[in-house]
Amino acid sequence: MKVWLTTHIGDKIIKSYVYTPQNFCEKDIAEYTKEICNELDEPTPLFLNKHYEHLHKFNNTNFTQTDFVESVYFDSMNIQIFDENEKKKKNEYY
């Protein structure tokens, strides 16, 4: 499993970082995010229950400027969890 963090201004990706934890555990996503934010020199967002729920259901979540204690220059931060080895579903039309 990998964690992909992106920061956005409008629809444009400003920064992007892919993090590969040694032993992935969904409950440690806040710690992974902290490590990525330290690497990118960005503030760490506050994880609320809605963020954990969205990650669990959809494997991604979005943070807006109100989810940060510090002021940020970007509009949003997105975190996505994906499995690089997961087989792609075949489209029956192709």
Q: For position 4, what pLDDT does the model report?
A: 93
Label residue 39 by pLDDT band (50, 70, 90).
Answer: very high
State the first-to-last Cα distance of the chain, in angstroms, to the nearest integer: 28
pLDDT at 60: 93
Is the confidence at residue 87, as pLDDT, over 70? no
- Does pLDDT of 43 surpass 90? yes
* pTM (2 d.p.): 0.81
Residue 13: which of 64, 74, 73 has the closest Cα?
Answer: 74
Residue 4: Cβ-neighbour burial (10 angstroms; 0-12, 13-18, 19+): middle
Domain ranges of the chain: 2-82
Contacts of 37 (CB under 8 A, 6+ apart): 5, 43, 44, 45
Bridge partners (DSSP) of residue 19 are 3
